[in-house]
Amino acid sequence: MKTITREQFIEELRTWIGTPFHHQGRWKGLGVDCAGLVVGPLVELGIMEVLKADNRTYKHKAGHKILVERLMLIANEIPKEEIKLGDILLFTIYRYPQHLAIKSYNDNIIHVTEDRGVVEEELDDMWKKRFLSSFRLKYIKD
């Protein structure tokens, strides 16, 4: 299995900043959603195995388990206290697990919002309240 460093993942993610939101999108510069923001950069880094776990049949609104089920195919759940650069953070929207972000440097995350597209910003109180769990990609080498 091919592996990457945390820094390589963040560096690639940063090239996606400014990409607009598009539900089920997987295209840098054209449109991406939060799942695509995990899948797309990994594919760009040569991690093709991630495509086996990708699924684009999920609905735009929360209330399904597909996101978590697919995430667990490519990552292992870790305790909040162990979160490091490049780990995946899972958040709830309307009480359901629905949003992914990637831990960046300091207290920042890289994620995609419907109105601003892919951004890197501080993990604010709103997202901290919605935090559900964290995951470490199986392709990250420490």
**Sequential pLDDT tens for the chain (142 residues):** 899 999 999 999 999 999 999 999 999 999 999 999 999 999 999 999 999 888 776 666 655 678 888 899 999 999 999 999 999 999 998 888 899 999 999 999 999 999 999 999 999 999 999 999 999 999 999 8
Give yes or no for a contact between 119 and 104, defined as CB atoms under 8 angstroms apart.
Answer: no
Q: pTM of the predicted model, to two decimals? A: 0.94
Beta-carbon contacts of 134 under 8 Å, excluding residues fewer than 6 positions away, are 77, 78, 79, 80, 82, 83, 87, 88, 89, 90, 103
d(CA 118, CA 105) in angstroms, rounded, equals 16
Instruction: Report the alpha-carbon angle 10-12-15, nearest 5.
Output: 110
The predicted pLDDT at position 55 comes to 77
Provide the pLDDT for residue 95.
Answer: 82
Separation CA 21–CA 80 (nearest Å): 27
